Amino acid sequence: MPGPALAEPRLASCALTRTDAHHSEGVDTWNSSYVRPDHPLDAVLVFLSFPDSAPRTTPAELTSDYFPATSQFFERASYGKFTVRPHAQRDWIRMPHTSRSYAIQRDWNADRRAAYLRDAVTAADKQVDFSRYDIVYFVADPDAPGVDSDATKVVNLDTPLRADGKDIRRVVTVFEKHPPDRLVLAHETGHVFDLPDLYHRPSDGKGDWDTYVGDWDLMGSQFGLAPDLFGWHKWKLGWLEPSQVACVRGAGATRLTLEPLGAGPGEGGSGSGTAGAEASGAGASGSRARSHGSSGSSGSVGAYGSSSGSGVSSGSGGSDVTGVRSYDSGVSDVAGGVEPYGLGARVFGSGRGTKLAVVRTGPDSVLAFEARGPAGNDDSTCAQGILVYRVRNETESGGGPIEVLDAHPHSESCWEGSVYPALADAPVALGESYTVPGEQVRIEVEDRTASGAWTVKITTG
């Protein structure tokens, strides 16, 4: 469905086109069939009980399972631009049929699911004015015998339900246990805003689900150590200003300053720095690493105890790159190869608050670069540095539309807490460089500013 244009003209060359793929990662336009979270939204929580089970919890207890945690996650992720305002019903609403009769499960029969939703809307409509709300959460009694916690999901309706003069196009159906999985409602709410699943679901239901992005985005796992939304998603949702996205074009080298993605207003990390500015350590305290086994690389040991072979090198790697152009805040289209610089020269930053750098790699793909560290929703991160990932706009939700590129492919970190230790140390650390496999793109992480921002050099071509 067509929507309003989102990308500034300067950013058009880096803004992937939105496609027909389910939850496409295109950012040139917004899909107007979804509500855009660029302002506070009102959500109703409707608590559903069943004739075959007497609830052992109260609506108030279940509300506290999800709020304020869900609102706080989005407030931090959006830098205060968005929040979910919950409106929880105080009483249970009785469904007309038993919990088992709906055959609730992850891959739910469409007719049974439709019957459940129709019954829920009809039962709740006597007490709920659906016209007042942007988001609908149907929360089932977690102790009812027919409730399956694996069935929690967002249901998108081809034919909307109608209540109180309003079309209900999607509903979040919650079947979680009490207490629920951490941040599960925030993950499902992300789908309400057209964000895709970033996990990999094995065909046999076994194996690892977190191979695409590991801990690095809520839409990959609500259990992640660093679950803040990718900068690409924040751009899509309207939480980044045009001046906070740097579109790197042309062959050559570009130096810029990236503010930590999780740092909100007044938290530091903005502005340009100078070479040799005070820098904090590159590894998160307490991180642990174990080797997959080296392929014989003689690369030096970098942060987190990982080998820096296979595309990662410490320091500049001997590269003598000239031709770097700095740019002013608000100018988000960067061409390499203009102004030479020398050793010890000023490190040119992008002005205040640049969160995301993008390099186009094809008609349907880009590389994205962002600084991740222990701030905001990432306060439990395993490692910090510049995270590199690939975005594809033609790939469906669940098929890997975003893939994190591992700057330390022969090591793992934080294996006691990470959802996928192989990617827990993926960021390029201070003093390291990384060449993207199969692409003529290289990033060098040169310094930290006194405020905590990262000065990097991206070379293309």
Residue 105: inside a domain, yes or no? yes
Dump the DSSP string for 206-252.
Answer: -S-S-TTTTTS-TTT-TT-SS-PPPHHHHHHHT-S-GGGEEEEESSE
Ramachandran category for residue 385: left, alpha or beta (phi over 0 → left; psi -120 to 50 → alpha): left
Query: Angle at CA 253, nearest 5°, toward 386 and 403?
Result: 35
- 189 shares a domain with 238: no
- 264 shares a domain with 145: no
Among 193, 223, 252, the domain-final residue is 193
- 255 shares a domain with 153: no
Beta-ladder partners of 47 = 139
Per-residue pLDDT at 304: 28
Per-residue pLDDT at 204: 72
Per-residue pLDDT at 124: 98
Per-residue pLDDT at 95: 99
Q: What crossing angle do the helices spanning 184-192 and 69-77 adopt, rounded to 10°?
A: 60
Residue 26: inside a domain, yes or no? no
- Taking residue 164's Cβ as centre, other Cβ atoms within 10 Å add up to 13
- 178 shares a domain with 63: yes
Per-residue pLDDT of the chain (461 residues; tens, 9 = 90+): 555 544 455 789 999 999 999 999 999 999 999 999 999 999 999 999 999 999 999 999 999 999 999 999 999 999 999 999 999 999 999 999 999 999 999 999 999 999 999 999 999 999 999 999 999 999 999 999 999 999 999 999 999 999 999 999 999 999 999 999 999 999 999 999 999 999 998 877 677 999 999 999 999 999 999 999 999 999 999 999 999 999 999 899 999 999 999 998 766 544 333 222 222 223 333 333 333 333 333 332 233 233 333 344 444 333 322 222 332 323 334 443 222 222 222 223 333 589 999 999 999 999 999 999 999 999 999 999 999 999 999 999 999 999 999 999 999 999 999 999 999 999 999 999 999 999 999 999 999 999 999 999 999 99
Residue 13: inside a domain, yes or no? no
Per-residue pLDDT at 2: 52
Residue 11: inside a domain, yes or no? no
- Would you state the torsion angle of the CA atoms of residues 428, 434, 437, 442, taken in this order, to the nearest 10 degrees? 120
CB within 8 A of 390, min separation 6: which ones? 361, 365, 366, 367, 368, 402, 403, 405
Note the pTM of the prediction, 2 decimals. Answer: 0.83
Residue 123: inside a domain, yes or no? yes
* 176 CB-contact burial (10 Å; exposed 0-12 / middle 13-18 / buried 19+): buried
- 392 shares a domain with 245: yes
Ramachandran category for residue 150: left, alpha or beta (phi over 0 → left; psi -120 to 50 → alpha): alpha
- 323 shares a domain with 427: yes
Residue 210: inside a domain, yes or no? no
> Domain range spanning residue 330?
233-460
- 237 shares a domain with 169: no
- For the chain, how many structural domains are there in total? 2
Residue 405: inside a domain, yes or no? yes
Kindly report the backbone phi and psi dihedral angles of residue 130, in degrees, each rounded to the nearest multiple of 5, phi listed first.
-65, -20
